[in-house]
């Protein structure tokens, strides 16, 4: 199993339009602060799938040389997590898409012209994709009533993707997330700042400690962090194109 962070940015990406902060200037100069919006590629010997399809998906797939996928899992119905799916138009039809009922209702109303093959999934119910076991677990991303994290298993290897969430997770979700080989955690801003629907980097690291994660990488990052090469001295920030193999 291989996990690639195609995009590690928040909803506006870095550089942010009209901003000249240090991170945005580093991004303009081609540094690792340059962050496309959130998407993750999961590959196995049987194929590849996407966790979310960011508005930057076209460029992400071109950079990876990917023209065919075997499925998409959508974690929730926010624009920055699904809008790029339309870039498959006239490239690939009948894509298998997976998600919670209300999530799929909302997204497919927008992407009706794509005619994907819909698969409704319930929380805490395992299903198989490309030879891997997947499970959607409930997380907390207000004001949405329905948002999922993703647990992926490949034999003894376990990857947890928190999705967009606060620290306040259901007990059942915490139990199932325990002891991952890799935790990919939402961490939109540095410590000493707070936002109602995401974790900051300190909260994400506290969650990693609670879960006894063997490895952790922070994603869904805003331009409020220092430039990447400076920030990684304090926090395990991901960057676009970063990959992990199991």
- How does pLDDT run across 103-133, given as a tens digit for each residue? 999 999 999 888 899 999 999 999 999 999 9
Worst-scoring range by mean pLDDT, 133-142, 161-170, 189-198, 236-245?
189-198
What's the whole-number mean pLDDT along residues 163-188? 97
What pLDDT score does 45 carry?
Answer: 96
Residue 22 in this model has a pLDDT that exceeds 80: yes
Residue 194 to residue 89: CA distance in whole angstroms: 38
What's the whole-number mean pLDDT along residues 53-71? 95
What pLDDT score does 83 carry?
Answer: 95
Residue 4 in this model has a pLDDT that exceeds 80: yes
Residue 165 in this model has a pLDDT that exceeds 80: yes
Q: In what order do the strands lie in the sheet with 72-73?
A: 117-120, 96-99, 72-73, 47-51, 39-44, 2-7, 243-245
Encoded tokens for 146: 């329905």
The answer to whether the bond into 39 is cis (omega within 30° of 0) is: no
If one compares 61 and 88, the residue with the highest pLDDT of the two is: 61
Residue 194 in this model has a pLDDT that exceeds 80: no
Tens of pLDDT, residues 84-94? 999 888 888 89
Task: Catalogue all structural domains in the chain, each as residue range(s) with its CATH number.
Answer: 2-245 (3.60.15.10)
What pLDDT score does 9 carry?
Answer: 98
What pLDDT score does 178 carry?
Answer: 98
Residue 180 to residue 86: CA distance in whole angstroms: 32
Residue 193 in this model has a pLDDT that exceeds 80: no
What pLDDT score does 113 carry?
Answer: 87
Residues 6+ away with beta carbon under 8 Å from 2: 41, 42, 43, 44, 243, 244, 245, 246
What's the whole-number mean pLDDT along residues 23-37? 97
pLDDT tier at 18, thresholds 50, 70, 90: very high
Residue 58 to residue 214: CA distance in whole angstroms: 32
What pLDDT score does 117 carry?
Answer: 96
What pLDDT score does 125 carry?
Answer: 98
């Amino acid at each position: 199993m291989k996990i690639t962070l195609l995009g590690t940015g928040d909803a506006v990406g870095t550089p942010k339009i009209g901003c000249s902060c240090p991170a945005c200037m580093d991004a303009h100069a081609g540094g690792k602060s340059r962050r496309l919006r959130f998407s993750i590629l999961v590959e196995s010997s049987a194929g590849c799938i996407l966790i979310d399809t960011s508005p930057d998906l076209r460029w992400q797939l071109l950079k990876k040389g990917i023209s065919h996928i075997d499925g998409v899992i959508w974690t929730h119905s926010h624009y920055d997590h699904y809008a790029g799916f339309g870039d498959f138009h006239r490239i690939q039809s009948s894509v298998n898409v997976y998600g919670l009922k209300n999530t799929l209702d909302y997204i497919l109303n927008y992407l009706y012209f794509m005619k994907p093959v819909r698969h409704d999934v319930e929380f805490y119910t395992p299903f198989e994709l490309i030879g891997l076991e997947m499970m959607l677990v409930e997380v907390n991303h207000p004001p949405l009533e329905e948002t999922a994290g993703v647990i992926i298993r490949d034999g003894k290897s376990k990857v947890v993707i928190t999705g967009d969430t606060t620290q306040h997770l259901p007990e059942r979700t915490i139990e199932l997330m325990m002891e991952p080989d890799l935790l990919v955690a939402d961490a939109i801003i540095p410590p000493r700042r707070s936002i109602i629907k995401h974790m900051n980097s300190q909260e994400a690291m506290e969650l990693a400690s609670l879960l006894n994660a063997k490895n952790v990488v922070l994603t869904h990052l805003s331009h409020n962090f220092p430039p990447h090469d400076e920030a990684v001295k304090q926090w395990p920030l991901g960057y676009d194109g970063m990959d992990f193999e199991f």
